[in-house]
Amino acid sequence: MDAQLFDISYLNLFTGLFVVVLLAGLLVRFWLAGRQMRHVAWRREHVPEAFAGVISQAAHQKAAAYTIAKNQFDLWSSVYSAAILIGWTLLGGLGLLNYTLLERIEHPMWQQLSLLAVFFLINGLLELPLGWFQTFRLEERFGFNKSTIGLWLGDIVKGTVMAAVIGLPLAALFLWLMQEAGSLWWLWAWAIWVVFNLLLMVIFPTFIAPLFNKFKPLEDGELAQRVQQLMQRCGFNAKGLFVMDGSKRSAHANAYFTGLGHSKRVVFFDTLLARLQPDEVEAVLAHELGHFHFRHIAKRLIAMFALSLAAFALLGWLYNQVWFYTGLGVVPNMMSPNAALALILFMLVTPVFGYFLSPLMAQLSRKHEFEADAYAVRQTGNKALPDALLKLYEDNASTLTPDPLYVKWYYSHPPASERLARMAQAA
């Protein structure tokens, strides 16, 4: 740590900047959520004309109530998470934890790994009430939760063990690079991060996902034939078609592609198959194939890796800046490495500043969704996909009347009215 880099002006400036950006983010969240809730509430009594006769008034009102309740929960969650963040940083929580472990663990690497492990354990415990309330109060209230306390806790335990088994060796490698690989350690770390993510995409379908859900081959003869013919027309090869027992946790329906290379597979939620007709399932799949046709997955991976490169480079610079630590309420170690402290602080503050990039990422995602919709319509006709989407909007209690500005900031998928209008043009 270069003491010459320390300047009290940087401390004051960075602390003030952090507080201002954090408060600004909270204000924007409250403002946008307020707009969304008012916009939805004012339109809850009448189904939009474009959906009259298709979506019932009861379903429309349920979607409005669910949307408002989710926004209220998100606001309280953001305040709670901000309080935890302030506790870890400016109020000295992380510094206290670091000092406590320094007194008890002599070996530098074990001390740093312990700091990472204990921090994530405590932080996870602090966030448990949010997860419990969302599952057993919010989702339960609207009939979506199918999970039990035992299943929910089991998922947490398995996720924690998996994170430790995979994450701690990776963290140890990063910590070693930060101390031993010179000024360009961040470039080596980024390269390892890229390889790790690609490897994770390969092994996830076969080794990780089955730890949480059961997967069985698609047995529906008509549907399987439709899907195989569609994939042949689209020039797409997958390892198999699988049905996942999503219904044991939630009534929400979904379908997705997973894997990379030869491990690619198509996964349908059992809730989706129970709700949609074979031609509608085919249309949903065609939409997903559209993402591959336009190389959206590859483009998003490239974008993610580019952003992560910039993030690693920024971390590489901040690692040696004393004001980065002190400005966030942490006194850096003088006789021990600060790699773990730097990693934790960077992970804590990055979402604060990154929040304001949300509209750009959302806009790109919506553009991709429009393109995938158009592709699906060309492959399956102009009726099946709109019908499927309307059923999913109804079943998932997605509002048909979102606030336009809220959509531009948050929505990764276009609202129903815009999607249906674009599909009609593409037909």
Q: How far apart are the first and last CA of the chain?
A: 62
- DSSP assigned state of 40: H
E strand intervals along 107-223 = 215-217
User: 372 is written with which tokens?
Assistant: 């995938």
What are residue 68's phi and psi, to 5 degrees? Answer: -65, -45
Please tell me the distance from the alpha carbon of residue 355 to that of residue 29, in angstroms, as a whole number.
10
280: annotated active-site residue:
no
Rg value, the chain, Cα: 24
How many degrees, rounded to 5, is the angle at CA 46 between CA 284 and CA 273? 20
Structure tokens at 61: 């009102």
Sign, CA dihedral 147-151-156-159, equals negative
Distance (Å, whole) CA 250 – CA 402: 23
User: 347 exposed, middle or buried (CB, 10 Å; 0-12, 13-18, 19+)?
Assistant: middle
Phi and psi at 242, nearest 5°, equal -130, 150
Give catalytic status of residue 288 as yes or no.
yes
Q: How far apart are CA 254 and CA 272, in angstroms?
A: 6
Of the residues 280, 282, 288, 394, only one is catalytic, namely: 288
| Residues sharing a CB contact under 8 Å with residue 202, sequence separation 6 or more, in sequence order | 259, 260, 261, 263
- In the set 280, 373, 395, 403, the catalytic residue is 373
265-269/241-244 β-pairing: parallel
Distance CA 294, CA 116 (A): 39
Backbone angles phi, psi at 217, to 5 degrees: -60, 145
Distance CA 194, CA 392 (A): 34
Strand, coil or helix: 241? strand
Give the whole-angstrom CA distance, residue 361 versus residue 350.
15
Neighbour-count burial of 33, counting CB atoms closer than 10 A to its CB (0-12 exposed, 13-18 middle, 19+ buried)? buried
CB proximity list for 12: less than 8 A, separation 6 or greater: none
What positions carry a catalytic annotation?
288, 373
